[in-house]
Structure 1
Amino acid sequence: MDFASVVVMPPVFVYGPLANLCVLHAFSCVAVAAEARAEGVQITCADVPLPLAGLAPGTGAVDGLLVDDPRMVKTLVFVAGALGLGSAQPLTVSCGGRPCAAQVFPGQPGCLAWDSEAWGRRYARILSHAVQEIICLKDQVPIGDFASRLPMILSRAGARVAATTSVPADLRSATGAHTVEEVGCEITYAGFFLSRAYTLRHPRFDGTLSATIRREVFVASDAALVLPYDPIRDRVLLVEQFRMGPYGRGDPLPWMLEPVAGRIDGGETPEAAALRECREEAGLNLQELEPISSHYCTPGYSTEVFHLFLGICDLPDTDKRQGGLATEHEDIRTHVIDFARAMTLVQTGEANNGPLVLSLLWLERERARLRASA
């Protein structure tokens, strides 16, 4: 072996989000981390749905952890690159009362003060799940590809955390997921979207365990959907766009009428996503959100959950206009129509989008109340 060619990576000083114990458990490196302190720097974060924080020059000191295990250092460097925390910089830290040469990632500093406890309560589990997915993809996805994949990774992580709060089980079985015997789980596809194959046995209604089965799951993010409604003018806004599902099925008319819809970003609430999507897709500032339902779309093979709302607003007199974000390659046309015509779309079947039909039927039931209070 040519020992001169062996590159020894310096230890990594982690702080803020990556120093959170819940996140560190995703790396399995809690046991090999030592307390350390960096002087002459400060930690701040940006006002974004899932702030990752960063270091900037300052007069104070930042406490963190020093990781020097070579295998863990390599993983940390990869994950930091995937998270977009910048190029590693040299930094001397104090560890055990002695100076230590380390490397640190500048992260994503911003204008807000860092609150470790508040961040941990709201975001630690999301980032932990995101880190786990990044590590699983480490040998499949080049580091340069993560920039475009990261929003979906964080969204999937946010959906996984949201899933831990379930709905009542008064009629259905209260048998818990912990009773399922998971034999194995593997990522079978890793593009912008993700699919996993599970090998498992689950309890049957007769009290026995099922045979070992293999099932593939499309791992999606959660989505927020809004039907904008003007109760004074009694009109709704629909969006129209090309959809791959109908096209891939062979539908000769793959343009679809829908509510306003969009992915819930990691760390974002369904309500915040609903308000944001209405601004982006339709240029609307909603006055109020009325929750309609939160439901699985296709639970037989997909993790996707829709959070469906009615959005109270003033709708313009213009019946059609363009919308959407060019950065997301959206080509959207909006339609403002009166309630009676919208219900005609349900009757004729032209409204062939499930959330749109559900929203309109809900509006039909609640319309008198909404109009009376407008």
Structure 2
Amino acid sequence: MEIDFNKMFRIMIFAMRVNRSHPDIARDRKWVLQFICVHGIFFIMFCALVYSIVFYDIKSKDFTQACSNGAICIVFIVVTFKYSVMLYYQNLFKDMIQIMKNDYKLSTELPLEEQQIVLHFALKGKGVLKLWLIVSICTASLFPVKSIVLMIYYKIIGDFKFVLLYDLTYPAGLEEHKNEPGTFAILYIAFLFYDFYSMFMYIAFAPLGPIFMLHVCGQLELVRNRLLMIYPNNSFDNEKVLNNFKDIIVHLQKIYSFVEDLKSSFKLLYEMTLKATILILPITFFLVIQSFKDGEVSLEFITIIIGAITLSGIPCYYSDLLMETGESVRLALYSSKWEIYWDKRVRSILLVALVRTERPVAIRSMFGPLCLVALTDVFHHSYAIFNLMNAAWN
């Protein structure tokens, strides 16, 4: 049984290559021109959103529209930050992906039971990717689907009019002509690009952290199984057990090194992700409730809510799982029947390993470990902001 990283996660790799963020892509002049063109269009549409908020929505006290535009602006900020992280830690991501590839290749030489462990966690990572694919496509597609359905509806009732992918107030010269066919087509394509560029960026980067975490969980599970089987059938061979312990400690050191790289590359990103979720959840909930009051259903913002919860929830859940798996390794060290046999060398190694594993194996944001407790705090803060917005508006 062979696990191929490129085949297992080909959708994520394809998305990385489409938006030119894959760590194997050379950052040469060709890439710079591509990045300026692609991200430049993205930035122009962001500026249009900010212009509408500052010069029209706030001045006209249209709080609902300001929140709507603000939610789309947060998407730009998060996507841009993700891209920046991928560029800054390009070599680190490249090394971690290569380590995963090597581990998958080495798994073919493992016993069948251990191969199944590696495959189990690889398939879990693939499941995370599929979940993100569904959430991203649903969120991105609802905007064009809604506009197309409305245009068809207006055509059927004999009152056809153009419906922009996402409507906002443009500068005076453009606002007057936005419903003309040529201008409409340009604005529609520009926002369609904004929509699908964001989608590809989320597919490319959002599953990467959880995939790494699950791989670490799989490797820790291998260590745990080996520790529990280190004294098979109560037999004892000093040198064999000592060598087995040494191999396990070396394996653990490689895992902890991988985790440190994971912490370094994702720490700031996950802090920003949690903060962005705190802001975007109350805003989008407020928009959805306001749309219900107006007799409408904002499906596109409902999917944004689901996406925001998924974006914060999945890393927190799997980081929590990582802590549990690390703790299970520590318990396996202590439960490996070392007390039955006397060997000072083995006990010295075991003592060092127990001290090292006392510190939780967890991914951290800037101010604390990423876990379900941190996710609960995010929901508490979001709820507080929502109550404040609701009280201020009413």
Instruction: Give the TM interval when normalised to the shorter protein.
Output: under 0.3
Q: Which has the higher strand share?
A: 1
Q: Which has the higher contact order (CA 8 A, sep 6+)?
A: 2
TM-score with structure 1 setting the length: 0.24
